[in-house]
Structure 1
Amino acid sequence: MKYRLVVTDLDGTLLDNEKRVSEANIEAVERLRKAGIMFTIATGRGERAAGPFIKLLGIDMPAILFNGGEIYDPLRGPVYVRYMEKDVFHLVIDHFRNSEIGIVTFRHDRIFIAGLKPTHKLYLEREKVKFERLKDPAEVDEVNKILLVGDVSLAVKMMAELEGKTGVRINYVQSDRFYLEVIPDGVSKGEGLRKLCDILGIDRQSVVAIGDNMNDLSMIAFAGLGVAVENAEEGIKRAAGLIVPANTEDGVAYLLKKIIDGDIG
């Protein structure tokens, strides 16, 4: 089968450990397009943090943002959006506001932080994004996601306590060593990829998806070919049909060359 679309995660997959895209990866994306195959990204990042990479890679088709909560067209803006349920939003905010865990909220291209904590500094040093200060993290309650920053094992434990206390199921996923993302019910990269396939009018079997972390699992399972980079979590590697070199060794470029050369598909 000839693959028609390649979708890649950013952090830990296309980006190296310094959050850069190598020249080899950029050149491979250009060659893939010239071969008539579409290319886009699927990331937990929102519009502001993903925007520079969309521009750098020359992506002119919809991208999957907020772990599937938004399909974003660089020319038209959001073409599909899911916001967090307000009752869940407030439950999470109230549960974590006095903890050591940093709370970051997102609405499209805006990033909000209230009461800077040491863990917020960890996020800001790594991501280098502009944000808006709030007096209270609940001030903006129509958001795409909540990012909990810090000790993820503690955040998961606290989330389980919240679910046990309230009986409310909360959709959350680890996207990085220090990040736990809370997203709308039913949202995932896999569902985002399903929506993108509907928009593009293509079959899932014609899609290649590549990632490294557990928030990539659903899209790797959904795609016709799921691929893991060598540095991926073991659960991702077990689910993938192919493992390529690590993010620091141009694993995406390796994959794209294989597709272009007809060694895959």
Structure 2
Amino acid sequence: MPAAPSPKLIALDLDGTLLDDSGRLTDRSVTAIEAAVDAGHLVVLATGRPPQMAVPVTEALVGTVRHIVGGNGSIISTFPESLADDPELLHLIGFDIDDAMTVVATLREHDAAYGFALATDAGFAHEPGFATLMPAAVHDEPVPDATAIGGTQAFKLLAFHATLSVHDLITTVPNLIGGRTSTELLVSHMGADAVEIGPADADKCTGLRWLCDHLGVAAADVIAVGDEWNDLTMLEWAGRSVAMGNAGDRVKAVAGEVIGSHAEEGVAIFLESLLDN
């Protein structure tokens, strides 16, 4: 009888990875994650979503998953132990709300067709058009101006455009906002048709590495699974890196292996295989 695999921390991206092509968490995926946890592995959600947006689509994992690396690494929290609980913040990398306001004002002045979503210490708000760009449902109602949410620290600023693609924005936005803020900000692809603007030192690798240090887990014992550009740093850092079949060529080139697509329940099949070996 083969020896049981040594315990690993398994970091799973959500959109385009764990969630299927309709943005759902399938029963097979839930069962596979439960089996991995029962076998002694730690399963962590590593997502571009802030925890408040990650929990509603993964409620079936209550009592199984314990941690979320959210906001592309800028917000690390617990996963609620019951549906009545909120995620408990463990660590965050934010930037001054004035810098977020400066970015929004600069882009609006350049082109009124920009729209925004903003997460701060006061909450989360998104403008009309944002929900249609996300791969899964956004339950909060849109507001005319996301910056009206207020707060003192911004954790996640998303920008989108009525006609420009996300790859256009990756090129355009850095040139427009460069040098205008007190904090060095990085523009990255967050896995949907919007770009994320945040501190240059905040990404999934930074957040996942903090959590691993917090839990006493070595990089060699981490399995990271993802599909998008915002997964690249954690795939490069993890001891074992896995790209989805629906990932782009750049992500597949970084990963050590490629599995089935999110539409084919690739994560569930991978976890089942992991437990069988």
Please state which band the TM-score falls in when normalised by the shorter chain: 0.7 to 0.9
Distance 1:136 1:32, change over 3 A: closer
**Gaps in structure 2 of 5+ consecutive residues:** 81-86
- How far 1:54 moved relative to its partner? 4.1
The one-letter code of the counterpart of 1:62 is: H
Given the alignment of the two structures, is residue 129 of structure 1 paired with residue 129 of structure 2, yes or no?
no
CA contact (8 A) 1:64 1:189 kept: yes
Q: Alpha carbon RMSD of aligned pairs, Å? A: 2.4
Mapping of residues 24-103 of structure 1, within 5 Å? 24-58=28-62, 59-75=64-80, 77-97=88-108, 98-103=111-116
The one-letter code of the counterpart of 1:79 is: L
The one-letter code of the counterpart of 2:79 is: P
Distance 1:54 1:139, change over 3 A: closer
Stretch deviating more after TM superposition (248-257 or 170-179): 170-179
SS in 2 for 1:24: helix
State the TM-score, normalized to the length of structure 2: 0.84
The one-letter code of the counterpart of 2:101 is: H
* Aligned mate of 1:229, from 223, 244, 259: 244
SS in 1 for 2:143: strand
The corresponding residue for 2:126 is 113
Cα displacement string for residues 222-257 of structure 1 (whole angstroms, at most 9, x for unaligned residues): 111010010001111000011000001111012111
| In structure 1, C-alpha distance between the alignment counterparts of 2:32 and 2:48, rounded to whole Å | 23
**Gaps in structure 1 of 5+ consecutive residues:** none
- How far 1:84 moved relative to its partner? 2.1
Cα displacement string for residues 21-46 of structure 1 (whole angstroms, at most 9, x for unaligned residues): 11211111111111111111000101
* Aligned mate of 1:162, from 167, 176, 201: 176
CA contact (8 A) 1:112 1:134 kept: no
* Aligned mate of 2:21, from 14, 17, 20: 17
State the TM-score, normalized to the length of structure 1: 0.88
- How far 1:261 moved relative to its partner? 1.5
SS in 1 for 2:200: coil
Given the alignment of the two structures, is residue 215 of structure 1 paired with residue 219 of structure 2, yes or no?
no
Given the alignment of the two structures, is residue 244 of structure 1 paired with residue 259 of structure 2, yes or no?
yes
Distance 1:56 1:121, change over 3 A: closer
Distance 1:249 1:139, change over 3 A: closer
Distance 1:108 1:33, change over 3 A: farther
CA contact (8 A) 1:48 1:110 kept: no
Distance 1:184 1:39, change over 3 A: same
- How far 1:125 moved relative to its partner? 8.9
SS in 2 for 1:133: coil
The corresponding residue for 1:194 is 209
Distance 1:177 1:202, change over 3 A: closer
